[in-house]
Amino acid sequence: MEPLYTSIDSGLELRRAQEMGGGTLLVSLPKEWVLKNKIRKGSLLALETTPGGSLMVFPATEAEKKPKEILLTYPPQYMRRLINLITGSYLLGFDIIRIISRERIPYEDAQAMKRAIRQLVGLEIVEEDTKSITAQFLLEPTNLDPEKTFRRMHLITMGMLPDAVQALMQGDVLLKKSVSERDDEVDRLYFLLVRLVRSASMDNKLAAKLKLTTIDCLDYRLSAYLLEAIGDSAEDIAKSSSHPLENVLGEVERKTAHGIVKALAAMQESAVRAFLSKNSEEGRQVVQLYEEVVGEIANLEKSIGSNGSAMILSKV
């Protein structure tokens, strides 16, 4: 008689399906999993099919999931390190972040910590006194939509590059400030999306509810990083010079620069559409267009010459 299950080197078990009456198939449950989840005869199990085709099995009546909590101590060796720990704890999926001190926290440091917390979507201060600050993530992950968050990042960054170049050309201080503020919003959305897809990659149930595969999580993580980098680049361009660049460029160079910006916007639109629709052919077209735009930028730099303006335009 063939064994009902076998172990393989990867740590997985291969279990043989048995046929019951009426064509029903039966697969036994691993004993360790049964004991861990206190499954007995008559226990109700929930089955869910993932987007990748896998079948998830879990107790239908699970105990309430305890929030993940982390404790950070003040004062740190460097204040910047504590700010990074707050952000890192958020990205790692901690639901409650407690910051405690043996002595009174100075006003300036408390304000710095609260600014860092307010930069993170869904994280709110729920308790505070002179020696501690407690923040909690109040959004329900299953109600979030990674695609909508990604699209919002895309729409914001789409308008940033043209405005950054316009601010650079005209020396528009208010427009530069607007670009910088939008970059902050892109950062907030990026952190939220990273938290969400990272949590989904570690929680099969959450991934199933969000309809994400492991590959989807990796793809969103990388694509969101690229959009965030576009926002950072736009802010750098806007702040590159305090003098209007159009005063040192000829009419031909100005038209060429604006043409490059339009081409980059079209590239981003096509790239995002290809990513979300999983259209590899459109993705290849974006790569080809990128090579053409790089050539146009190189020609523009040669036309301007080796000066500060050329160096600024190279950031585009």
Is the pLDDT score of 237 beyond 70? yes
Give the residue, 257 or 152, on which the prediction is more confident.
Answer: 152
Mean pLDDT for all residues in the chain: 86
Give the DSSP per-residue string, 17-68.
-EE-GGG-EE-PPPHHHHHHTT--TT--EEEEE-TTS-EEEEESSPPPPPPP
Q: How confident is the model at residue 269 (pLDDT cuts 50, 70, 90)?
A: very high
> Please, where in the chain does CATH 3.30.110 lie?
69-137
Q: Tell me the per-residue pLDDT of 201-213, one tens digit each, with 9 for 90 and over.
A: 988 888 888 989 8
Q: What is the mean pLDDT of residues 284-313?
A: 74
- Under the banding of pLDDT at 50, 70 and 90, the label for residue 314 is low
Task: Report, in this order, helix, strand and coil percent for the chain, each rounded to 5.
Answer: 60, 15, 25
**148-173: pLDDT as tens digits:** 999 999 999 999 999 999 998 888 89
Matching residue, tokens 């895309």: 154
pTM: 0.79
Tokens 């081409």 sit at which residue? 263
The per-residue pLDDT for 305 is 63
What is the bridge-based pairing of β-strands 5-7 and 96-101? unpaired
pLDDT given for residue 175 in this prediction: 94
Candidate from 3-12, 147-156, 257-266, 276-285 with smallest mean pLDDT = 3-12
Pick the CATH number of 69-137 from 3.10.450, 2.60.40, 3.40.50, 3.30.110: 3.30.110
Least confident of 222-231, 253-262, 302-311: 302-311
**Third-level CATH fold of 143-313:** Methane Monooxygenase Hydroxylase; Chain G, domain 1 (1.20.58)
Of 264, 268, 267, 269, residue with least CA distance to 300? 264
pLDDT, tens digit (0-9, with 9 covering 90-100), for 31-52: 888 888 888 877 888 787 777 7
pLDDT, residue 150, reads: 97
Separation between Cα atoms, residue 1 and residue 280, nearest integer Å: 48
Rounded to 5 degrees, φ, ψ at 14 are -100, 115
pLDDT in the model for residue 27: 84
d(CA 113, CA 132): 11
| pLDDT score of 7 more than 60 | no
Q: In the structure encoding, which two tokens stand for residue 307, read together?
A: 């000066």
Residue 308 has pLDDT above 60, yes or no: no
The pLDDT-based confidence of 232 (bands split at 50, 70, 90) is very high
User: Under the phi-then-psi rule, with left for phi > 0, alpha for psi from -120 to 50, and beta for the rest, what region is 50?
Assistant: beta
Burial of 95 (0-12, 13-18, 19+ CB in 10 A): buried
Question: Quick check: 182 pLDDT over 90?
Answer: yes
The CATH 1.20.58.220 portion of the chain extends over 143-313
